[in-house]
Chain A
Amino acid sequence: MCETCGCGDPEIVPVEVQERILSDNDAQAAHNRRHFEGLAVLAINLMGSPGAGKTAVLEATARAAGGRLRLGAVSGDLATDRDADRLNAAGIRSTTITTGSACHLDARLVHHTLHHAPCSDCDVFFIENVGNLVCPAIYDLGQAANVVALSVTEGEDKPLKYPVMFQKADLVLLTKVDLIPHLDFDVHAVEDALSRVMPDAKLLKVSAKTGEGIDAWLEWLEAQRPAQRSGSTSLEHHAHSHEHSHEHH
């Protein structure tokens, strides 16, 4: 009851929270990150528009790596297993997270997948996000780096139109560069656009079709890899701060 005037109205009080609304996802992402780091697995969150060439780049990566790197992946897909099928055929052990109508992956979905399809024997684990230049940027998954695939057919101004995605990128892969001779595409214009939305902009030009730039992409991946496995945390033996039940494989 209101104690100011005794009017009988309930008292309304302000309760300070000052917390990120997605703090649950952040905590789960931190948990995933500890797994990846403990296992010395380089986790890459690969994002981009539908049709930007994310899966094709990974197929080309497997071809070029030729067994030098052990690659694993999980693909976010609204309705099909097609990406995971392609990646498995390319030699990247892969599973699908079928998101239904959800437009992005979140840390909980990735964590759940890791329990059923462990990444512990991978050097690099790709999280191929749902094709979308907006929503995936909001959700930390526990990755070591964000990579955005941008195809030359999408136009040079995409970074300016989708700054939230590109500001979070550690690397942009400009894909399908074999098509440039057939297009009015200005690489300098996309570099300029990136420099205005992405601090420390880094761009690699690649073609999954011809293999151009894939070696440079592999070098970039090698440079990001953690030095060695700490053994302090593993998927097989670890504590959860949250309650859930599942089998550890």
Chain B
Amino acid sequence: MHEYSIVGSLIDRVQQEAVLHGSTRVHRLHVKIGELAGVELDLLKTAFDTFRERTICEGAELAIDSVAAVWACPSCDRVIARGAVLRCDTCGRPARMIHGDEIILERIEMEAPDV
């Protein structure tokens, strides 16, 4: 459900960038979504297809880069295997997430006379 609110924020942000660059047409958005970000990719695409109508993103493609979750020890950098206990066998410290919680707008491809 919150995918709709994420898409709302995404389109607002793209609108700001379009105004900044004097663009009236956006071709593609590149977003990075972590496996443990709590965002369902299919729902995000559906929400984008629904909400982009009559916005700066109408006709734009949503390109999603999905990032696998990686946990590691904050002391020795040892990577913790998937599904394992999130604590370093050697150092005993709780693991820290290295990748996997990203919800990032990376890049916008737009028609931009002012760039």
Q: Which residue of the partner chain B has the closest CB to A132?
A: B1
Give the complex CA separation of A20 and B36 in angstroms.
Answer: 15
Q: Which A79-128 residues sit within 8 Å CB-CB of chain B?
A: 102-104, 106
Residues in B whose Cβ lies below 8 Å from that of A163: 36
CB distance from A108 to the nearest CB of B (A): 11
Residues in A whose Cβ lies below 8 Å from that of B109: 12-15
CB distance from A155 to the nearest CB of B (A): 18
Instruction: Among A15, A102, A137, find the residue whose CB has the most chain B CB atoms closer than 10 A.
Output: A15
Q: For the complex, is A135 an interface residue (Cβ under 8 Å from B)?
A: yes
Q: List 8 A-B contacts (CB under 8 A).
A: A12-B27, A12-B111, A13-B109, A15-B110, A20-B103, A20-B105, A21-B13, A135-B38
- Chain A interface (Cβ within 8 Å of chain B)? 10-25, 102-104, 106, 134-135, 137-139, 163-165, 167, 195-201
CB distance from B114 to the nearest CB of A (A): 9
B38 touches A196 (CB 8 A): no
The dominant DSSP class at the A interface is mixed
Q: Which B62-96 residues sit within 8 Å CB-CB of chain A?
A: 71, 83-87, 94-96
Residues in B whose Cβ lies below 8 Å from that of A18: 104-107
Residues in A whose Cβ lies below 8 Å from that of B94: 199-200
A138 touches B2 (CB 8 A): yes
Q: For the complex, is B45 an interface residue (Cβ under 8 Å from A)?
A: no
Give the complex CA separation of A55 and B65 in angstroms.
Answer: 39
